[in-house]
Amino acid sequence: MTLSVSSFWRGALVVLWLVLLSACGSSPKPTPAPLGEVKSTQPLNLAWTFKFSSGNQLHQTLPLVNDKLAVAASDGKVAVISVNEGWAHWQRQVGTGLSTGAGFDGENLAVVTTQSELVMLKDGKELWRKRLVAQSYTNPLVAGGRVFVLLANRAVSAFDATDGQALWTQQRPGEPLVLKQNGVLIAHQNTLLAGMGGHLVALNPDNGQILWDVTMANPRGVNDLERLVDLVATPSRVRQSVCVRAFQAQVGCVDATRGALAWNRASVGVKGLGGDANWLIGTEANGVVRAWSRSTGERAWDTDRLKYRELTSPLMLEKGIVVGDEGGWLYVLSNKDGSLLNRTQTPASGFASSPTALPNGGFVILARSGQLMAYQLP
């Protein structure tokens, strides 16, 4: 977990961050219990690997359009990969470090640099770059001939994808401290959905007008750190149901067509969500994997088999729930009750993305070492 603030609050952040580091240093991490022998009842087969970069500390979502996957590295490298065979359509060095993953519409790819520049590329060629008024840590969204950016000052800005012309900016007030972590910025039908603090906000993509604003969590606590409730990637979206996690506070689902809260529940987690039409899956901060009814929010099951393993966001597939850990292990859990169906050790020492579903029923995941790995669940 990393934090960011505006320049006005930078000094306060240093104090808070040092306090946080001190607290973490005085309390050693709990040791995960040995799993023992795991009887494999669901095959997990490696389909291909692609060495994208020499290292990747940039945690990101991996946008997939048809058979093309966009990926970015913290050192400034970007690429578009064929997920069918695992080869690069093109690769490019942007020229400076990156603070976000990629936004991608199948042709145009957008990233934000550590110098707060929005860069647009097409077929490996840079089209333009634009200076932003604040840093960004969330994948841009490229859609409808525009690129949308969620900024660290909790503003959403829109630009013309062709030439970078600024179109509009919408901002709402919030807490001074924000997460230096991938947030929520997705499209739903003809609406733009953004996580702005503890709120899920629907915007008109043409002019930035707020269409509705649903509170997912309210800040609580005695200091800015305790009051952090920013929405974190990745949300789970099935038709009109959009479910999100507020950092260390709540999970909940919204009817995005009406802008109405369906339910929310207390949940102390820091990663995004997975799910299908019936269930919502999340990982708690302590590694407990939990399932809720998507329609009612009632808890369906918990499993503590992976406790204290620092898990990624989960991915729910037809054959099982996939999750990775900081040791480079991948696990497949039962959709029905969370029981462990399989596990496999990868060359990774932790992951820079959560598992991303592929059209063939498998998934792809990015290791911190810069290696993309695709798996099938036959």
CB atoms within 10 A of CB 25: 8
Which pLDDT score is estimated for 4? 47
Question: Which pTM does this prediction carry?
Answer: 0.91
d(CA 183, CA 137): 7
Which pLDDT score is estimated for 343? 96
Closest residue by Cα to residue 207 from 247, 254, 170, 256: 170
Which pLDDT score is estimated for 221? 73
d(CA 225, CA 171): 21
Residues near 190 by Cβ (< 8 Å), separated by ≥ 6? 205
Which pLDDT score is estimated for 291? 98
Beta strands 103-104 and 363-366 are: unpaired
Tokens of 294: 């998507």
Q: Where are the domains of the chain?
A: 40-376
Which pLDDT score is estimated for 33? 81
Which pLDDT score is estimated for 21? 35
pLDDT-flagged residues of the chain (< 50): 1-25
Which pLDDT score is estimated for 34? 87
End-to-end CA distance of the chain: 35
Token pair 């009887």 is at which residue? 39
Closest residue by Cα to residue 99 from 112, 82, 89: 112
Which pLDDT score is estimated for 140? 98
Closest residue by Cα to residue 203 from 255, 158, 144: 158
Task: Give the CA angle between residues 118, 6, 228 to the nearest 5°.
Answer: 105
CB atoms within 10 A of CB 11: 10
The fold for domain 40-376 equals Methylamine Dehydrogenase; Chain H (2.130.10)
The CB-side HSE value for 94 (13 A sphere, CA atoms) comes to 33
pLDDT digits (tens, 9 = 90+) for 257-304: 999 999 999 999 999 999 999 999 999 999 999 999 999 999 999 999
Which pLDDT score is estimated for 173? 78
